[in-house]
Amino acid sequence: MEKIIIEGKTRLSGEIKVSGAKNAVLPIMAACILNDGENTISNVPDLADVRTMIKLLETLGAKCEYSDGELLIDSSAIRSYKAPYELVKTMRASVLVLGPLVARFRKAEVSLPGGCAIGERPIDQHIKGLRILGASVRLEDGYVSASAKKLEGTTVPFDLSTVTGTENIMLIASVCEGETVILNAACEPEVVDLANALNLMGAKIEGAGTDIITITGVSSLGALSDYTVMPDRIEAGTLMIAGALNESNLTINGCRFEHLGALSGKLLQTGAWIEKNGDSSIRVKGAAEIRSIDFSTLPYPGFPTDMQAQMMILMCLADGMSVITENIFPQRFMHTAELRRMGADIKLVGNSAVVRGVREIKGAPIMASDLRASASLVLAGLCGTGKTEVSRIYHLDRGYEKLDEKLRSVGASIWREKE
């Protein structure tokens, strides 16, 4: 295993390019199960989760080639409809093959994803949607076993906004006879990216990005040719916060400003200076005095839960008290114990964290627990006095492409060592 070492308090300055979005490329890769062709996808980030999804597709029989951001998925030889526990347990997003496998084989056996550090991750809405479309679904021996004699489009009303739940139903409904209308659909940009890719395969999807998505089923889908994955808005947001620390001055290129409204608004309220150059470049300058603000996580376009841990770092060094409320994953506070080890003043009250700003946090050995918490610990190391060692950074490598190298390129004193 590896750890990341950071000498903190360095003012960062320069430009960083954002990679392709993890949470967009994973469902698009799963969508390739729906056709029998050679799919080519570009701007694919080199992440552990992408490599896990490649392994999963190869387990099903696909042939994959990945190099330098270009991914080829030949799905003509997919023969299996079973997604094994060994792979699913390492990546919850494996549940995204459930819908496509039922669509392709009229049956599927996908291991239940199980919980993770940010909380119990139920898939009852995914199952509800599959049953409404005509599948019979059983949960046994830790697996979801689904089968369907006939799949028929109809209305699928979700009880809550679920990103991968919306994506799973969009995937299977694309090739379901008839029209499917998803009510209370997730509006995240990654859902839109998947819909764009499916439509390029020949699907007929309208309304992606709103809470009502209409899918008119088609008999078959063609292969994807050279689809470019959207930029990762969570990586962009993480880098924006790096720019707001230590009075840094960072330009984040290759992002989409329209995906970053909630975060930008909150960052401005803390006193950071933000300037957009066109739609795909944002410059952030950190303020000498960081103002405390309250924020709550919400489904898109609200403040993203995937940015909660990172924004908390800024609040640890702000000039007052900040109340951070986590409405999506109420237990998503594993990072607070590690931040307290650095001298942060954080109290958990239900699904909120009350943060009192301190003058400084001190570098210390800390341990990553999940993907976004690990990013927040790296940010903490950047603004901590002295040396910080972040262990278990395999969590970070699941969702960030060479984050340490990118930060080093703009002046951070950061490197990797074997644990």
CA triple 25-30-32, angle to 5 deg: 100
Say if residues 20 and 231 touch (Cβ distance below 8 Å).
yes
* Tokens found for residue 16: 């960083």
Q: Check if 64 is active-site.
A: no
Is 165 a binder of ligand EPZ (CB under 6 A)? Answer: yes
- Counting contacts by CB under 6 A, is residue 164 touching ligand EPZ? yes
User: Which tokens belong to 276?
Assistant: 């957009």
CA angle 404, 29, 33 (to 5 degrees): 160
257 binds ligand EPZ (CB under 6 A): no
Selected catalytic residue, list 64, 116, 255, 316:
116
By CB under 6 A, is residue 160 in contact with ligand EPZ? yes
Asked whether position 123 contacts ligand EPZ by CB under 6 A, the answer is yes
In this structure, how many other beta carbons lie within 10 angstroms of the beta carbon of residue 141? Answer: 10
163 touches ligand EPZ (CB under 6 A)? yes
| 305 touches ligand EPZ by CB under 6 A | yes
Across 238-278, the runs of DSSP E, i.e. the strands, are 249-253, 273-276
CA pair distance 155, 158, nearest whole angstrom: 10
Helices and strands: H and E segment counts in the chain: 14, 26
Instruction: Kindly state the smallest distance separating residue 157's Cβ from ligand EPZ, in Å.
Output: 13
By CB under 6 A, tell whether 261 contacts ligand EPZ. no
- Residues 351-390, one symbol each (x = binds ligand EPZ by CB under 6 A, - = not), give --------------------xx------------------
Q: Using the CB atoms, write b or e for 329-351: b if 16+ within 10 Å.
A: beebbbbbebbbebbbebeeeeb
DSSP 20: B
Asked if 107 contacts 67 with a C-beta cutoff of 8 angstroms, the reply is no
Q: One-letter amino acid identity for 353?
A: A
Q: Which of 122, 178, 265, 320 binds ligand EPZ (CB under 6 A)?
A: 122
Cβ of residue 156: shortest distance to ligand EPZ, in angstroms? 12
Give the C-alpha separation, 242 to 400, whole Å: 14
Q: Is 115 in the site for ligand EPZ (CB under 6 A)?
A: no
Stretch that binds ligand EPZ, among 58-66, 116-124, 208-216, 405-413 (CB under 6 A): 116-124
Decide if residue 125 touches ligand EPZ (CB under 6 A). yes
Contacts with ligand EPZ, 37-76, as mask; x by CB under 6 A:
----------------------------------------
CA-based Rg of the chain, rounded to a whole angstrom?
21
Q: How far apart are the first and last CA of the chain?
A: 5
| Binding span for ligand EPZ by CB under 6 A among 3-11, 21-29, 343-351, 382-390 | 21-29
- As measured in angstroms, the least distance from the Cβ of 397 to ligand EPZ is 13
126 binds ligand EPZ (CB under 6 A): yes
What is the distance between the alpha carbons of residues 324 and 346, in angstroms, rounded to a whole number?
Answer: 10
CB 75, min distance to ligand EPZ, A: 20
Residues in the chain: 419
Cis amide prior to 330 (ω within 30 degrees): no
- 395 binds ligand EPZ, rule: CB under 6 A: no
Stretch that binds ligand EPZ, among 61-69, 134-142, 148-156, 161-169 (CB under 6 A): 161-169
Compose the 317-356 pattern: x for residues touching ligand EPZ by CB under 6 A, - for all others. Answer: -----------xx---------------------------
Report, as residue numbers or ranges, the catalytic residues. 116
Please give the residue ranges that form the binding site for ligand EPZ (CB under 6 A): 22-23, 26, 92-93, 121-126, 160, 162-165, 186, 190, 305-306, 328-329, 371-372, 399
